[in-house]
Structures are given as structure tokens and as C-alpha cells.
């Protein structure tokens, strides 16, 4: 009986569970790996800071939050602006149309184009038009560092000032995309960034004077700033002709609406 009782007691005892092993402490990152991760995170943060102002390239964002940057001005005035010149093949044609209509405009010039045609840059200024900086090379600024950006804008400003005899006070970034470095440099050079409220898209495939005018007319309103190009140095060959053909129609439309037309210096509300 004793043996049977002992066997039954053994069957009623719970099975002994193996003791749990303590978790091993987390293994720290190797120094080289930790440094690499830190560098990567720092670079990502710097890229975000550098490219952050580029969000103003969205027209809905800048017109709602930054009206002056969009070129919003007096309700009875439309500012006419041109980018990418001066171009000996194209700019003189725009100057002729503007002279016939007795209208002045703002020309955002590339320093590289000014160096190729300094006499034409001087002619634009001598005709009473306003000149601004569009950079020296037509490069996407968020991909350029602070030093490269500073050198580019300073070089462009100096080239334009030397050729025209007038120090520019306005700045439009290539592609309409700003960067933190560009904003810092513009402030140091006393340049005011200005984009646009309407553009003709004459560089698009199949563009014509009619399509450029229709695109502009859809967004045309008092207080707006119009963007056209007086060169095809960064767009398909001959695209400037569509802008040139649309210009008289645009000026006539503004006249019919009773809107004054001129450069950005006359555009303040």
C-alpha cells in the first residue's frame, strides 16, 4: 500500500518547469555603425531643412500663405515678367512688342546669358525695363549646397550689375523652387524672391501662341504676376515664339479689363 500511495502522490505533483533564462542585455551598436547612422540621420535632416522652402513651388501654398512671394500686388495691375534671357535670337523681338505697346516689364536674367550678350542686357535696362536675378546657371537650387548657391547668385548679380549699370533687387529661382541656402543668400545680397501667379507653359510640347494665351487667361486677374520666357536656352528650341505670339493677346486682354500692365516695381498694392 505504501508503494501505491507513493506512486499516486508522485502522479499528483505538478511537473517541474525549467527555469527561465534571463534575457541578455541589448548589444550596443558598434562604434562605426553608430557613427554611420548618426551621419545618415544628420544628412537627412539637413536635406529636409535645405529643401523645405521648395514647398512654395506649389502655387496653392504660396498664394494662400505667401502672397508677396507669389507676386500678388495691386488689384488693378498685372506684372509682366520674363525668364532665362537675354537671348540675342529672341529678346529683341519681345522688346519690340513691348515698345510698340509702351509697356515695361521685368526681366529675370541668367548671369551666363548676360556674359554672352552684355550689350543686349544693357539695352533691356536702357529701354526702362526692370532686371532681376535668375541665377548664373539654370540649376535646381535644393540640390546645391550653401557655398555653391552663394557663389552662383553673387556671380549672377555682379554680371547683371556690370552689364546694365543697375544692381538688381529681385530674385526668381530656376524652376521656381527655393531652398534655405537660396533664401539666406538672397537676404545677404538684398534680393527679394518673387515667383508668379500665372505662367504660359510655352515650353510644353505642342505649345502655340493660342495655347499660351489660353493658359494665361485662365489664371489672369488683377494683382497677378505673369511668367513668360524670352529664351529657349532651357526649353525646346523655338518655344519662345509661342510666348512672343501670345504677348500681344495678353496685353489686349488686360487693356479690355482695365488693368494696368508693367514691371514688378509698379506692382505694389
Domain ranges of the chain: 63-266
Catalytic residue among 83, 87, 152, 230: 83
Burial class (CB in 10 A: 0-12, 13-18, 19+), 149: buried
pLDDT of residue 38: 47
Domain 63-266 has CATH 3.30.1440.10: no
d(CA 181, CA 217): 34
Q: Please say if 83 is a catalytic residue.
A: yes
Catalytic residue among 77, 129, 138, 229: 229
Q: What length is written for the chain?
A: 269
Average pLDDT, the chain: 86
In this prediction, residue 23 has a pLDDT band, given cuts at 50, 70 and 90, of low
Query: Which stretch of 11-25, 127-141, 167-181, 189-203 has the lowest confidence by average pLDDT?
Result: 11-25
pLDDT of residue 67: 78
Q: Is the pLDDT of residue 166 over 90?
A: yes
Query: Which stretch of 1-10, 170-179, 190-199 has the lowest confidence by average pLDDT?
Result: 1-10
Q: Which tens digit of pLDDT belongs to each residue from 237-254?
A: 999 999 999 999 999 999
In this prediction, residue 65 has a pLDDT band, given cuts at 50, 70 and 90, of low
Q: Please say if 267 is a catalytic residue.
A: no
Q: Is the pLDDT of residue 117 over 70?
A: yes
In this prediction, residue 41 has a pLDDT band, given cuts at 50, 70 and 90, of very low
Nearest CA to 129 out of 159, 155, 157, 91 is that of 91
Maximum distance among all alpha carbons in the chain?
127
Place of cell 533664401: 183
Q: Which tens digit of pLDDT belongs to each residue from 212-235?
A: 999 999 989 999 999 999 999 999
In this prediction the pTM is 0.80
Q: Is the pLDDT of residue 37 over 80?
A: no
pLDDT of residue 68: 82
Three-state SS for 35?
helix
Amino acid at each position: 500500500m505504501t508503494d501505491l500511495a507513493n506512486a499516486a502522490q508522485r502522479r499528483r505533483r505538478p511537473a517541474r518547469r525549467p527555469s527561465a533564462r534571463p534575457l541578455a542585455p541589448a548589444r550596443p551598436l558598434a562604434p562605426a555603425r553608430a557613427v554611420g547612422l548618426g551621419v545618415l540621420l544628420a544628412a537627412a535632416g539637413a536635406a529636409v531643412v535645405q529643401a523645405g522652402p521648395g514647398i512654395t513651388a506649389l502655387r496653392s501654398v504660396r498664394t494662400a500663405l505667401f502672397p508677396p512671394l507669389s507676386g500678388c500686388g495691386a488689384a488693378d495691375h498685372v506684372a509682366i515678367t520674363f525668364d532665362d534671357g537675354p537671348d540675342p535670337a529672341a529678346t529683341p523681338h519681345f522688346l519690340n512688342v513691348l515698345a510698340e505697346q509702351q509697356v515695361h516689364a521685368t526681366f529675370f536674367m541668367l548671369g551666363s546669358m548676360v556674359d554672352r550678350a552684355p550689350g543686349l542686357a544693357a539695352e533691356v535696362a536702357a529701354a526702362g525695363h526692370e532686371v532681376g536675378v535668375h541665377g548664373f546657371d539654370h540649376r535646381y537650387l535644393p540640390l546645391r549646397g550653401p557655398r555653391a548657391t552663394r557663389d552662383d547668385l553673387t556671380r549672377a548679380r555682379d554680371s547683371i550689375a556690370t552689364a546694365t549699370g543697375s544692381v538688381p533687387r529681385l530674385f526668381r529661382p530656376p524652376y521656381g523652387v527655393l531652398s534655405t541656402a537660396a533664401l539666406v543668400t538672397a537676404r545677404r545680397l538684398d534680393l527679394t524672391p518673387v515667383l508668379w501667379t500665372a505662367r504660359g507653359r510655352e515650353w510644353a510640347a505642342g505649345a502655340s501662341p493660342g495655347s499660351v494665351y489660353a493658359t494665361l487667361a485662365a489664371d489672369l486677374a488683377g494683382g497677378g504676376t505673369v511668367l513668360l520666357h524670352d529664351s529657349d536656352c532651357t526649353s525646346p528650341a523655338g518655344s519662345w515664339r509661342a510666348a512672343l505670339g501670345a504677348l500681344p493677346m495678353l496685353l489686349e486682354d488686360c487693356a479690355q479689363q482695365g488693368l494696368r500692365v508693367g514691371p514688378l516695381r509698379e506692382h505694389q498694392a
